[in-house]
Chains A and B, each alone.
Chain A
Amino acid sequence: MREHPTMLRRTRIALLVTSFAGFAAWSAVAYAAKPLELHPKPEVDLPFGDDLSFPEGPGSDVVAANCVTCHSVDHTLNQPALSREEWHKVVDKMITAYKAPISKDDAKTIVDYLSRVKGEP
């Protein structure tokens, strides 16, 4: 960013005090004036997100074995409480739309686990 954040804040406060015309403005003109360069980027490092685990209990091993192939544990942990029917729809979409290789038995175990761990909506 070209603008110094502190400067911006100070400017804004000054405007508020004087006239209430306090729009914080990052100008497009300022961006456009800057020469545009593309640089090679060094390889980036992404956190894998393997520092969380599913709460222990019946089925937690099945959930761990099936779900974290495509997404980290926090994806599942952050979901709301849903009805069994809704969980069934979620797992079914993973299988039929996104081709997760989840067996019928495992799918049922996963739905049971999520319904129990997440609780009733």
Chain B
Amino acid sequence: MPGPALTCWLIGIPVLMKRSASSTAMSRRGLLSAAAASGFGLIAQKALGETIDFHVAGGPSTRPYTTTFPEKGRMVLQRNRPPWLETPFDVFDKGVFTPNNQHFVSWHWATFPTSVDLNSFALKVHGQVERPLSLSLQELMRDLPRFEIAAVSQCAGNSRLYANPRIAGAQWANGSMSNALYTGVRLKDVLDKAGVKAGAGHVLFAGLDDPVLPEAPRFVKSLAVDHARDGEVMLAFAMNGEQLPMLNGFPLKLIVPGWSAVYWIKMLNDIEITDRPDPSVWTTRSYRVPDTANYTVEPEKADFKLIPITRNVPRSFVTNLKPGDTVKAGAPQLVRGIAFGGDKGVAAVDLSLDGGRTWQPTVLGRDEGTYSFRQWQTTVALPTRGTHALTVRCTNTDKVMQPMQRVWNPGGYLQNQVETVEVVAA
């Protein structure tokens, strides 16, 4: 009798892999044990009753915390269905790697599996290739070299809540970003295995999620073949040493280090190599920014060209002090936070106590990689009693610096102006 379905895979242990290959579970029908629409539990959302107030004008300012989502701890609930769960900001003070159970969550369509069978899951590679592939997870994990990369995943609309004038869309505060150490295989190796045909310039990615309405556009994103083959773009099966939470894309996720999280397709199962650019609304209509300095325009203006969002931009935050916190006047005060350089590493994080007229350097923490959060810290003394503004600014290794002026565009995307925290010295 053939072996039972695998209960556990130890990566790189051939005995288990071999057993899996001979298992009838491998050929079992049905990719998913449940389709999404029927799989949603009809459990009313029960928030903790605790809320957070983001103190913004022009609309609802508070959100509930929730602990009702599977494999997730305490999260800020921005939307139930499909889930938009924000990482509570205090998490960012605890270290550069966001715990998996507080890694932010964002889905475009509500129809996605609530269960995925590891034995029948397959990644299809097709289109303009010499050898179309259907790869099992076992094959991906056994046959291709693994690597690890730390990278920040940030929604293109992170911080949209703070846009002024306000903008429709996901009303994220600063928590639709998270950092993790990913483990996976190189997309390049998978593409080379399939053999990309000459002249095919684009790679289109899709996952197991589907629109609720059949006429609606499937969520897809694409990369240029050269980017896809850069050796850094990853197909990840683990983050922070654990398999992916279901809501973060179990069992396989596309990792595009340095690029906006919109490209990081969850539950990735379809890679199509094509000879034309992505025709979907997700690139031609949504996720577009003005082709201007800092992607910024005057709110009333409409005479600008729009381009697709691609790279992340540098950002930095104070994490150990909140607006309104009281500190001791004249005493040494630690100021600490996180920064990331966008598509490049962090070169420097500077702090200003005078609204940006003068800057003092901070000490950078351990470098976990170009695309990771990096901690920074310094000690200041605020000699006079009263309110003091602490402004923090990241400069990346390409000498790109966070702008002083507010970023504003009609989609509320790629906000990265310097952040200021006002504290009271007493």
Contact = CB atoms under 8 A, between A and B. Distances in A.
B8 A48 contact: no
A31 B377 contact: no
B110 A23 contact: no
A86 B168 CA distance: 8
A97 B338 CA distance: 37
Contacts of B117: 40
A80 B5 CA distance: 49
B217 A99 contact: yes
B420 interface: no
Interface string B98-128: 0100000000011000111110000000000
Contact of A48 (B44, B216, B238): B44
A45 B117 CA distance: 16
B399 interface: no
Interface in A12-53: 16, 20-28, 31-32, 34-51
Output the residue of B71, B137, B181, B237 with the most chain A CB within 10 A: B181
A84 interface: no
A109 interface: no
A90 interface: yes
Given A49-B45, A78-B59, A121-B166, A32 B40 contact: no
B237 A38 contact: yes
A72 B116 contact: no
Interface string B75-98: 001111111100000000111110
Given A16-B334, A81-B58, A99-B213, A48 B42 contact: yes
A104 interface: no
Given A25-B366, A45-B43, A78 B377 contact: no
A51 B81 CA distance: 12
B181 A31 contact: yes
Interface string A75-110: 101111110001101100100011111000000000
Interface string B304-336: 000000000000000000000000000010101
A8 interface: yes
Nearest to A68: B81
Contact of B115 (A16, A42, A87, A121): A42
Nearest to B66: A47
20 contacts: A1-B99, A20-B332, A23-B365, A23-B375, A23-B377, A25-B366, A26-B96, A34-B241, A36-B238, A39-B8, A40-B6, A40-B7, A47-B66, A69-B212, A70-B110, A72-B79, A72-B80, A80-B166, A93-B285, A98-B281
B23 interface: no
Nearest to A35: B10
Given A44-B115, A78-B171, A37 B281 contact: no
Interface in B179-235: 181, 183, 211-213, 215-217
Contacts of A38: 8-9, 11, 118, 137, 141, 237-238, 243, 251
Given A82-B166, A97-B286, A45 B114 contact: yes
Secondary structure of the A side of the interface?
Answer: loop
Contacts of A5: 94
B181 A28 contact: yes
A61 interface: no
Nearest to B68: A47
Secondary structure of the B side of the interface?
Answer: loop
A17 to B, nearest CB: 10
Interface string B54-84: 0000111001001011110000011111111
A20 B79 CA distance: 39
A41 B250 contact: yes
A71 interface: yes
A37 to B, nearest CB: 6
A97 B213 contact: no
Contacts of A47: 41, 43-46, 66, 68-69, 80-81
Contacts of A121: 58, 165-166
B5 A48 contact: no
B77 A74 contact: yes
A34 B369 CA distance: 19
A47 B79 CA distance: 10
B97 A31 contact: yes
Contact of A44 (B82, B150, B171, B246): B246
Interface string B276-298: 00000100011000000000000
A93 B183 CA distance: 37
Contacts of B369: 28
Contact of B97 (A28, A42, A72): A28
Contact of A78 (B63, B141, B375): B63
